[in-house]
C-alpha cells in the first residue's frame, strides 16, 4: 500500500477500536487519524499514529487532512441536523485529495422513505451513499446494524433494580452486533482487496426481540427481568416523569419504532465470512454487562 489508511473520528469509540484492530495487521506509520482537537489525541500519538486535524464542517480542512491518504474509513457524523452537508464535504474532499477508496459506516434499513420512523437518521446515510456512488473513487458501504452497546442505554442504568425492560419496541427483532467486531471486520476490509464498490450487511447471525433479551439478562444476572412494551406516548410520558432529557427520549422512541417495524431484523454472516471467526454472542455481551 502506497498511501496511508485514515480513520475519521479517531478519538471516538469505534474509531479507536478500528485503529487498534489495524495495528494488529499493519505498522502504525501506515495509519492516520482525523481529529477535531489534536490535544485529545495524545494516546494515539503515543502509538505512532499520524494525527490529522480536520472538521466535517470545513471541506478545506478535510482536503488538507486527506493528503497522501489512499483509503479512508469514514465514520458517519453524529449531528443529525448537519451531517447531510458534512458527509458531502467528506466525499468531495476525498475526491479532491486523490483518495482512492472510501469505506463508509452506513446503517442497515429497509424503508428509505421519509415515512420511515428512522428517516431523521437515514437521510444523512443516504446522502453519503449517494455522494460516494457518484464520486470518482471506489467505495465500500458497510450497512451496520445497531451496536450491542446500545442495549444498556435502551434498558436504563437501573435495570437490575427496576427489574423491567421498558421499551416500545413490541416484538421487533434486532441483529445487534458488538462494536469491537465491527472494528475487526473494518480492519480486514481495509487491508484486503476485492471490496471495491461493494455493499455489505454488517449484522449478527441471529436477531433477538427485547423479550428474548430480557430472558437472557435474567439468566446471566440471576435477577428476573420483565419486558414491557408500552405505546410510545406512555413511554415518553414515563421518562419525562423521571427527568430524562427530551432529545434522549425522542431518539429512543425513534429507534424503538424502527425496531418494532422490523427495520433492524437483518442477519448476516459477513463477519464470519471475512474474518473466519465467530462473532461475539449476545449472551456473552450481556453476561459481561449484567453478569453476577
Distance, in Å, from the CA atom of 9 to the CA atom of 192, rounded to the nearest integer, reads: 22
Residue 33 reports pLDDT greater than 90: yes
Residue 79 has pLDDT above 70, yes or no: yes
- Classify strands 198-202 and 138-144 as parallel, antiparallel or unpaired: parallel
- Is residue 3's pLDDT more than 90? no
- Domains of the chain in start order, with CATH, are 4-144 (3.40.50.720), 145-177+203-266+278-292 (3.90.25.10)
Please compute the mean of the pLDDT values over residues 34-48 and round it to a whole number.
Answer: 95
Average pLDDT for 161-185 = 98
Question: Would you give the DSSP letter of residue 36?
Answer: S
Calculate ∠ Cα 98-100-105, nearest 5°: 115
Lowest mean pLDDT segment, chosen from 106-110, 204-208, 282-286: 106-110
Q: State yes or no: pLDDT of 2 exceeds 80.
A: no
| All three cell numbers of 39 | 490535544
Specify the pLDDT at position 102. Answer: 98
Beta bridge partners of 218: none
Would you give the DSSP letter of residue 174?
B
Mean pLDDT for 209-217 is 98
Residue 91's pLDDT is 98
Q: What is the pLDDT of residue 252?
A: 96
Q: How confident is the model at residue 292 (pLDDT cuts 50, 70, 90)?
A: confident
Instruction: Please state the rounded mean pLDDT for residues 191-213.
Output: 98
Separation CA 42–CA 29 (nearest Å): 15
Q: What is the value of pTM for the model shown?
A: 0.95
CA–CA gap between residue 73 and residue 54 (Å, rounded): 14
Taking all residues of the chain, what is their mean pLDDT, rounded to a whole number? 96
Category of 68 on φ-ψ map: left (φ > 0), alpha (ψ -120 to 50) or beta? left
Give the whole-number percent of the chain exceeding pLDDT 70.
Answer: 100
Q: Is the pLDDT of residue 1 over 70?
A: no
What CA–CA distance (Å, rounded) separates 183 from 279? 12
Q: Which of 99, 280, 111, 259 is nearest to 205 (CA)?
A: 280
Amino acid at each position: 500500500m502506497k498511501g496511508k489508511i485514515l480513520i475519521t473520528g479517531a478519538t471516538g469509540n469505534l474509531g479507536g477500536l478500528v485503529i487498534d484492530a489495524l495495528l494488529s495487521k499493519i505498522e502504525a506509520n501506515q495509519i492516520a487519524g482525523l481529529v477535531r482537537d489534536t490535544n485529545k489525541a495524545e494516546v494515539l500519538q503515543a502509538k505512532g499514529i499520524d494525527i490529522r486535524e480536520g472538521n466535517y464542517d470545513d471541506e478545506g480542512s478535510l482536503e488538507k487532512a486527506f493528503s497522501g491518504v489512499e483509503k479512508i474509513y469514514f465514520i458517519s457524523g453524529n449531528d443529525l441536523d448537519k451531517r447531510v452537508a458534512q458527509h458531502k464535504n467528506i466525499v468531495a474532499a476525498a475526491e479532491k485529495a486523490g483518495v482512492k477508496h472510501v469505506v463508509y459506516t452506513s446503517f442497515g434499513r429497509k424503508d428509505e422513505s421519509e415515512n420511515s420512523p428512522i428517516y431523521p437518521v437515514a437521510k444523512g446515510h443516504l446522502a453519503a451513499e449517494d455522494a460516494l456512488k457518484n464520486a470518482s473513487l471506489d467505495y465500500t458501504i458497510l450497512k451496520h446494524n445497531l451496536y450491542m452497546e446500545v442495549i444498556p442505554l435502551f434498558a436504563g442504568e437501573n435495570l437490575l433494580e427496576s427489574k423491567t425492560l421498558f421499551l416500545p419496541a413490541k416484538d421487533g427483532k434486532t441483529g445487534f452486533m458488538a462494536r469491537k467486531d465491527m472494528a475487526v471486520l473494518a480492519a480486514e476490509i481495509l487491508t484486503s482487496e476485492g471490496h471495491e464498490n461493494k455493499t455489505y450487511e454488517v449484522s449478527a447471525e441471529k436477531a433477538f426481540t427485547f423479550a428474548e433479551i430480557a430472558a437472557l439478562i435474567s439468566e446471566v444476572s440471576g435477577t428476573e427481568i420483565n419486558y414491557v412494551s408500552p405505546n410510545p406516548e406512555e413511554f415518553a410520558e414515563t421518562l419525562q416523569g423521571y427527568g430524562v432529557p427530551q432529545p434522549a427520549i425522542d431518539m429512543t422512541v425513534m429507534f424503538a419504532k424502527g425496531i418494532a417495524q422490523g427495520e433492524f431484523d437483518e442477519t448476516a454472516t459477513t463477519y464470519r465470512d471475512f474474518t473466519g471467526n465467530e462473532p461475539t454472542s449476545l449472551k456473552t455481551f450481556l453476561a459481561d454487562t449484567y453478569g453476577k
